[in-house]
Structure 1
Amino acid sequence: MSGLVQFRCHFLDGSTVEVSAPNAAIARAEARARHPGVAITKVKVVKGASV
């Protein structure tokens, strides 16, 4: 078992990024690195996703 969860991060500009991470804080940091300069509005767990 990897301990990773699939998160979907939503940005202020309407775009989304899916990230695998052990928790929401790390997912938020990874999403910010992939899409710099745009505020993240919410981070949600993707239900039914297998990592």
Structure 2
Amino acid sequence: MGVGDWLFARPLEWRLGVQVVAIDPSAAFRKALRMWLPRILLRSAARTAA
């Protein structure tokens, strides 16, 4: 089961309640979070210089 599958399995009410997610900078995690939790503030554990 991937991240997207796991998020999809959470109840909609739960997903709507998520506001902030701090993650590892994995592209797969970011993609799944953007798809299933589009309203969140997403912050990566790894910061890069602009």
The TM-score normalised by the length of structure 2 is 0.33
Which protein is richer in helix relative to its size? 2
